Amino acid sequence: MFKFLKRLRRDKPIETPEVIQEVLVAEPVVEVIPEPIAQETRVEAPKPEVQKVEKPKPVEKPAVAVQEVELPKRSLGDGVRSLFSSAIELDDLEDILIRADFGVDAALEISDELKRAANKAGASSDAELRLLLKDLLTKKLTRSDAALNLSDGKLPYVILVVGVNGAGKTTTIGKLSRWLRDGDWNVVLGAADTFRAAAVEQLATWASRADAKLVGPEKEGQDPASVAYQTVELALSTDADIAIIDTAGRLQNKKDLMDELGKIRRAVEKQASIAEVLLVIDSTMGQNALAQAKAFAEVADVTGIVMTKLDGTAKGGILYSLQEQLDLPVKLVGVGEGINDFAFFSPEEFAKGLVAYKQER
């Protein structure tokens, strides 16, 4: 969906308010544009940005270096497996979608819509149906808010990563920070999972692989909110671009643990605004993922979803319902244990993968 992110970096730690305002004004324009092409254009020709900055106070220009940094490309690749081992049969579609974890309602809805679309277009061949289904899914899955919020200029961007146990939070953070480092961002990681044995060490390993700074608890079982606070503090004092905070895995029905997330949020917000709250969901999860997302959205104001482990046999159909029912955009996907095995969620690539002709692996 988008392959570029821009970074707004200041040479001076303190900016004049006017300029900040201008940057803020410029930001929605960038955000709204959903197409990669549009964004590419912007990256190649950053004129409008510069002009705006110049308008009010041209004198300020040299003091503020607004950089746009291209981040390396990532794509789903062949991470998603096809739904179909043979030609599409409209009557079997519902079952096939259920098997892919779309859920009973969504499966029925999609297969009905495809039938209607096929009737309308007079499509009946396997190739035509695959194309129709791909278009239908792409259309349904495409959203304007699927991009990571890393361009509003309010440095440091703070990302809070939440999810149930074993979903892949720490691994996701490792991958994400490597990617940001590759784009020459300064990354600070916060190990606020002070509960699970060796979780801090696990993040530390990723931090050294990704060449990021790490803030960990000073003693075992320290309040995670205080670790989060210190993480932001370090990010501010070292003028880092981004702070990513890892939290302990928690099951959504554990009220006390869920409340703790609110506390972590408040601790962060004392010093900086939160750019993203990413909920990590394991693609192998079934319908319970909906309950997870709902509960986390309530307490932690989730802004986006990361689907992990899409490289397995699981199709991750639940992401469809997550977007439709809970109105939460899927932003990233994880497709392996390697440090580069992740991608931005692209509805088109995902849909393409699902309807592809089967290559048995």
Partner 1 sequence: MFGNLSDRLSDTFKNLRGKGRLSAADIDGTLRDIRRALLEADVSLEVVKEFTGKIRERALGDEVSKALNPAQQVVQIVNDELKAILGGEARKLSFSKNPPTVIMLAGLQGSGKTTLAGKLAKWLKEQNHTPLLVAADLQRPNAVTQLQVLGEKVGVPVFAPEAGNGVGNPVKVSKDAIAFAKKSQYSVVIVDTAGRLGVDEEMMQQARDIRNAVEPDEILFVVDSMLGQDAVNVAKAFHEGVGVSGVVLTKLDGDSRGGAALSVATITGAPILFSSTGEGLDAFEPFYPDRMASRILDMGDIVSLIEKAQQSFDEEESKRLAEKMAKDQFTLQDFLEQMQQIKKMGSMKGILGMLPGVGQMKKQLEEFDEKEITRTEAIIYSMTPLERTQPKVLNGARRMRIARGSGTSVTEVNQLIARFEQAAKMMKTVAKGGMPNIPGANPALMGGGGFSGGKKKIDQKKKGSKSGNPAKRAAENAGLDFGSEKSSGSGSAFGL
Tell me if 291 contacts partner 1 by CB under 8 A: yes
Nearer CB in complex with partner 1: 219/361 = 361
Tell me if 85 contacts partner 1 by CB under 8 A: no
Provide the pairing of β-strand 187-192 with 304-308: unpaired
Tell me if 309 contacts partner 1 by CB under 8 A: yes
Chain centre to alpha carbon of residue 16: 31
Instruction: Please give the Cα distance from 254 to 273 (Å, whole number).
Output: 26
* Closest distance to partner 1 from the beta carbon of 41 (Å): 39
User: What x-and-dash track marks residues 259-278 binding partner 1 by CB under 8 A?
Assistant: --------------------
Looking at residues 222 to 261 of the shown chain, list those that interact with partner 1 (rule: CB under 8 A): 251-254
Tell me if 282 contacts partner 1 by CB under 8 A: yes
Q: Which has the closest alpha carbon to 163: 283, 325, 17?
A: 283
- What are the DSSP calls for 93-148, one per residue? HHHHHHHTT--HHHHHHHHHHHHHHHHHHT--SHHHHHHHHHHHHHHHH--TT-S-
Nearer CB in complex with partner 1: 110/167 = 167
User: What x-and-dash track marks residues 155-174 binding partner 1 by CB under 8 A?
Assistant: ---------xxxxx-x---x
Name every residue whose Cβ is closer than 8 Å to that of residue 336 and which is 6 or more positions away in sequence.
Answer: 79, 311
Looking at residues 92 to 131 of the shown chain, list those that interact with partner 1 (rule: CB under 8 A): 95, 98-101, 103-104
286, 298, 327, 340: which one binds partner 1 (CB under 8 A): 286
Instruction: Please give the Cα distance from 60 to 64 (Å, whole number).
Output: 7
For 162, phi then psi, to 5°, come to -125, 165
Tell me if 323 contacts partner 1 by CB under 8 A: no
* Closest distance to partner 1 from the beta carbon of 28 (Å): 34
HEC string of 163-205 equals ECCCCCHHHHHHHHHHHHHHCCCCEEEEEECCCCCCHHHHHHH
Is residue 292 within 8 A of residue 285, CB to CB? The reply is: yes
Looking at residues 171 to 210 of the shown chain, list those that interact with partner 1 (rule: CB under 8 A): 174, 195-199, 201-202, 204-206
The residues of the shown chain that bind partner 1, judged by CB under 8 A, are: 95, 98-101, 103-104, 164-168, 170, 174, 195-199, 201-202, 204-206, 251-254, 282-291, 294, 309, 311-315, 317-318, 337, 361
